[in-house]
């Protein structure tokens, strides 16, 4: 093959140049970062919404959930919060401890009365305990000896699955009978039945 300028171009030279060009193109393509799949994006975003704090929801209270007129225990609503302070879900295990209340002590916990474990590791457990309205996990902590005329301290821990850090919270469950037996001082039904234990004053 002889081009117009008088130079003779070998077919081998053309093939070699094309091979080099293809090699460079494939090398550059290999160096480009691959687009992330949907699962990779979800994995990268997960820490943004992982729980960073836990609190016992104010509607936690002594309850009669069998309808027989006697208190059955404590209905605990557990709220997990992400870094944006919004309610979130998580897998792990909730640990509860109920203590007698000691007034006028820096640590209001007296004798330990009962303890419970609440696993949240399977899909069925998540469905069983998740409350869509309050966006909390609901647990019925059976303790037939509970009384409505006494204060209690409820301590909760949440151990995240996969080696996450342990979160904890503590509240005082205030006696309820004083509110029920005092019609002259009505209390809205939405008033929380708990208050932060940190409000307890030292002696």
Edge-to-edge strands of the sheet including 109-120?
A: 109-120, 92-101, 152-160, 166-173, 194-196
Three-state secondary structure call for residue 36: coil
pTM: 0.65
Q: 33: left (phi > 0), else alpha (psi -120 to 50), else beta?
A: beta
Contact predicate 130/89, CB 8 Å: yes
110 pLDDT band, cuts 50/70/90, is very high
Sketch out the chain's domains with CATH numbers. Answer: 48-199 (2.60.40.1940)
Percent of the chain with pLDDT over 90: 59
Q: Is residue 39 scored above 80 in pLDDT?
A: no
- Residue of 202, 180, 203 whose CA lies nearest to 191: 180
Tokens read off for 45? 């975003």
Is a pLDDT exceeding 70 seen at residue 41?
Answer: no
Instruction: Please report the pLDDT score of residue 56 as a whole number.
Output: 96
Instruction: Name the E strands within the chain.
Output: 53-56, 61-63, 73-81, 87-88, 92-101, 109-120, 130-131, 136-142, 152-160, 166-173, 194-196
Contact (CB, 8 A) for 154 and 76: yes
Q: What is residue 28's predicted lDDT score, i.e. its pLDDT? A: 53
- Predicted local confidence at residue 190, as pLDDT: 42
For residue 137, the model assigns a pLDDT of 97
pLDDT (average), residues 159-185: 77
The backbone region for 199, taken as left when phi is positive above 0, alpha when psi lies in -120 to 50, beta otherwise, is alpha
Question: What is the structure's pLDDT at 165?
Answer: 81
Burial status of residue 136 (CB atoms within 10 A of its CB: 0-12, 13-18, 19 or more):
buried
Q: What is the mean pLDDT of the chain?
A: 79
**Distance, CA of 108 to CA of 153 (rounded, Å):** 7
Spatial neighbors of 138 by CB under 8 A, at least 6 apart, are 75, 76, 77, 78, 129, 130, 131
């Amino acid at each position: 093959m002889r081009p117009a300028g008088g130079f003779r171009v070998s077919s081998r030279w053309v093939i070699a140049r094309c091979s080099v060009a293809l090699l460079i193109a494939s090398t550059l393509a290999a160096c480009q970062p691959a687009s992330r799949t949907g699962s990779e994006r979800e994995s990268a975003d997960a820490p943004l919404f992982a729980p960073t704090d836990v609190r016992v929801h104010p509607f936690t209270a002594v309850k009669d959930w069998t309808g027989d007129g006697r208190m059955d225990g404590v209905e605990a609503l557990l709220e997990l919060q992400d870094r944006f302070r919004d309610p979130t879900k998580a897998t792990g295990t909730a640990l509860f401890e109920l203590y007698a209340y000691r007034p006028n002590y820096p640590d209001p916990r007296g004798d330990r009365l009962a303890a419970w474990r609440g696993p949240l590791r399977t899909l069925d457990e998540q469905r069983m305990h998740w409350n869509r309205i309050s966006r909390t996990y609901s647990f019925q902590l059976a303790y037939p000896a509970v009384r409505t005329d006494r204060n209690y301290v409820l301590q909760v821990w949440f151990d995240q699955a996969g080696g996450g850090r342990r979160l904890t919270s503590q509240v005082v469950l205030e006696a309820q009978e004083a509110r029920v037996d005092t019609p002259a001082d009505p209390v809205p039904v939405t008033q929380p039945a708990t208050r932060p234990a940190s409000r307890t004053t030292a002696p």
